[in-house]
A and B are shown apart, each in its own frame.
Chain A
Amino acid sequence: MQWDIVIGLEIHVQLATRTKIFSGSSTAYGAEPNTQANAVDLAMPGTLPVPNENAFRYAVMFGLAVNAEIGRRSMFERKNYFYPDLPKGYQTTQLEQPIVGPGYVDVDLANGETKRIRIHHAHLEEDAGKSLHEDYHGMSGIDLNRAGTPLIEVVTEPDMNSAEEAVAFARKLHSLVTSLGICDGDMSQGSMRFDVNISLKPKGSDQLGTRTETKNLNSFRFMEQAIAHEVERQMDILEDGGRIVQETRLYNGDRDESRSMRTKEEANDYRYFPCPDLLPVVIDDDFIEDARSHLPELPDALKARFKEQYGLNDYDAGLLSGDAKLAAFFEEAAEHGKDAKLAANWIQGEFSARLKAEDKSVAESPISGAQLGDLVVRIADNTVSSAGAKKVFEALWTGENDNVDAIIDAKGLKQVSDTGALEAMVDEVLAGMPDQVAQYQNEEDPKKRKKMLGGFMGPLMKASKGQGNPKLFNEILVKKLGG
């Protein structure tokens, strides 16, 4: 039987505010346990929450960026459940009147199509603390530094039909919130966490099947794997004539397996009610316009401009506009380097590979866009070969020297493009390889001939101490060998 896959996402986005959503405690990551957990965060009797203006500003910016209606009057509810890393015994969240109403995001897919994913709503809420279950004499340790960190929970409509679409949407959302500067986007620190709702229905049917929710996926790779895993699990059950139980599941990425966390029937009685500690929050036109004035150039606009202004193709423009810092790096390199396409190639090649190898972010790069731009200029004007350019790049990266021209001089990487000198070298090398020359000249197949040219390049590069311009060498060779 053929099945349609139906996927909806809930995404928790940690907002990059300085302080918590309801208290003036710092939200800085990595502090000693409980040093940023104060009276309000600990739910001490007599404390009252006071909402953080920036949390609302960031949520409104998000709303504007996803073409959503902004909740002019929003309210907080209490979602009651028992867990020790939630000191109040309830999470303060929004249910009836969220800050961000229905909107949408357009996502570019690998097949060149663009798909619109609708946002059902996004609401503000607080994060919980962390429970450490390793052994403290049979007890659990609780760190409440994270308790009260502002989140927006983004809820999509079930508009995605494959793992690929879901991941493309997730990446787009990541790119949006980091471009907006409302989230640091660091998934390894839990800054974005995905819950995936999945159901299957017979192909073409308009009746949705029973869904399961796989919670707390914190990387795109795990998300893709978890969806594939869950789709297969549900398909096996349905094809054996079984029934899907509506439940919450946990996915273990290291083992590629999942288990049931709780079934919906036995839990999730959250007894929501309006939070009496908080008044309705009214967002006026001035607040919205102020948020709008803080919006940067968003990825879609940036992509269009990169294609227009620098002549990049769709793929390159999409990749470079997806990350605000990478986009800024590219623009700096392109401005300095004149040749934007070459700059784009180097950023996606050598530069990205190096960042990845050293697990660094663009912000942590030891070289600047301007430096890469200077190098691009020297590659474009044939001063250095691409092999030489890699050596320059290496010296820039390790901090050996910060000036491209100085490195080229110091390392003797300047390419010899003087035709007379190159011709002399070719003559000398060919004179020393009579057999190969004869073989080449007796070969009729142009493809094989082309391949045989390579055999002369090694000795030539050696003769020129790696400084001969390979392109010119090639031209001279072809001429001397008689086509």
Chain B
Amino acid sequence: MSISREDIEKVAVLARIKVDEEQVSALEKDLGNILDLVDQLSAADTDSVEPMAHPLDAVQRLRPDEVTETNQRDAFQAIAPATEDGLYLVPKVIE
């Protein structure tokens, strides 16, 4: 199983990771190896096995609908790169 350069570039865009030319070649090899491993796993007959939702054999605990959090905006905004009027500022995302 191999992965194309186009696939790697597409995944990089979706994940917002900048990947340069030499890295693409290295990733082609590494990701190809991982996919080969997945191929080996796919060879196992799993027809009679129920897909596993979670590795822990447990059930999710639910929480009562009560407010337990207080306003800690100042603490969170102290570590944000830019804030104004209580808003977090980010590079403009629409044209």
Contact = CB atoms under 8 A, between A and B. Distances in A.
Given A32-B86, A51-B60, A18 B69 contact: no
Interface in B10-27: 10, 14, 16
A83 B62 CA distance: 28
Interface string A237-281: 000000000000000000000000000000001010010101111
Interface in B39-95: 53-54, 56, 58-69, 71-73, 76-77, 82, 84-94
A161 interface: no
Given A132-B87, A276-B54, A139 B82 contact: yes
Given A52-B63, A52-B65, A280 B53 contact: yes
Contacts of A279: 53-54, 56, 58-61
A141 B88 contact: yes
B60 to A, nearest CB: 4
Interface residues of B, number: 35
A141 B84 contact: yes
Prevailing SS type, chain A contact patch: loop
Contact of A24 (B68, B85, B90): B68
Contact of A280 (B14, B60, B82, B93): B60
**For chain A, which range describes its interface: under 10, 10 to 19, 20 to 34, or 35 or more residues?**
35 or more
Given A51-B63, A269-B14, A281-B59, A136 B84 contact: yes
A53 B65 contact: yes
B69 A38 contact: yes
Given A138-B92, A142-B88, A271 B59 contact: no
Contacts of A50: 61-63
The 5 closest A-B pairs by CB, nearest first: A24-B68, A141-B87, A54-B65, A33-B86, A279-B60
26 contacts: A18-B65, A18-B67, A19-B66, A19-B69, A24-B68, A24-B69, A25-B67, A33-B86, A34-B76, A36-B69, A37-B73, A51-B60, A84-B93, A136-B84, A136-B87, A139-B90, A139-B91, A141-B84, A141-B88, A142-B87, A142-B90, A143-B86, A143-B87, A269-B14, A276-B54, A282-B60
